[in-house]
Amino acid sequence: MNETGVTGWRYWQVLTQGYLGGLHTPHARQPWYPDGIEAVCNQDRDTHAPDQAPWPDCECGIRIMPRLDDLLDGIEDHPARTGITRRVWRVIGGAGYYQDRLMHGVLDVPDVIGQAIGWGRTEDACPWDDPPGTVRVQHARVGPVIYLSQHLARMAPAIRRRYPGTRVHVGHERGLPWLDEIHASQQAVAEPSS
């Protein structure tokens, strides 16, 4: 355990009014207010209290991946572990949400991929629940850059109002090609042509 802050990557769904929210319990559909959210444990364990998340041998904590490539690989290669599966949209969004995603060809990607800033207690990945490269943090807020899937471009103004310190890039692609677009964009940031 340490108290070091970490900037990483993660994904969200777009909630009403432009808030971003997690996909998984206990943070599913909970708005990420601009000052951030705090992890809670809902595993009903006797080793630690709900407010002691993340805990070493548990599934609790807010997920962040320091390397973008780990997140993109996780979505494509470990859909059951990252939770970006068709079943997730049926469970969390309901039948109407699932049909909307099906129509737009985005059953396999999240709504938003971007940077998050984590702080407080930090733990390594849950070995049975997280794809490689994951860390779990106690507190997190939306970071300086996020990418919005093209099919939700209409939500960009509302998202910008909620997170005024965050640059919102609207994708030109949708579905898995959108992941390649994000990767290329970040490569351009890392290796600017002179």
Binding site for Zn ion (CB under 5 A): 41, 43, 55, 58, 60
Compute the C-alpha angle 63/69/70, nearest 5°: 40
At its nearest, how many Å lie between Zn ion and the CB of residue 33? 23
> Beta strand pairing status for 20-21 and 6-14?
antiparallel
Q: Which is nearer to Zn ion, 12 or 55 (CB)?
A: 55
Q: Which is nearer to Zn ion, 9 or 55 (CB)?
A: 55
Instruction: Name the one residue in this structure whose structure tokens are 């807010």.
Output: 62
At its nearest, how many Å lie between Zn ion and the CB of residue 113? 26
DSSP-H helix ranges across 58-129: 68-77, 79-82, 86-88, 94-104
Q: Which is nearer to Zn ion, 53 or 72 (CB)?
A: 53
The secondary structure of residue 22, as a DSSP letter, is B
At its nearest, how many Å lie between Zn ion and the CB of residue 22? 16
At its nearest, how many Å lie between Zn ion and the CB of residue 78? 21
Over its C-alpha atoms, the chain yields an Rg (Å, rounded) of: 16
Q: Which is nearer to Zn ion, 60 or 84 (CB)?
A: 60
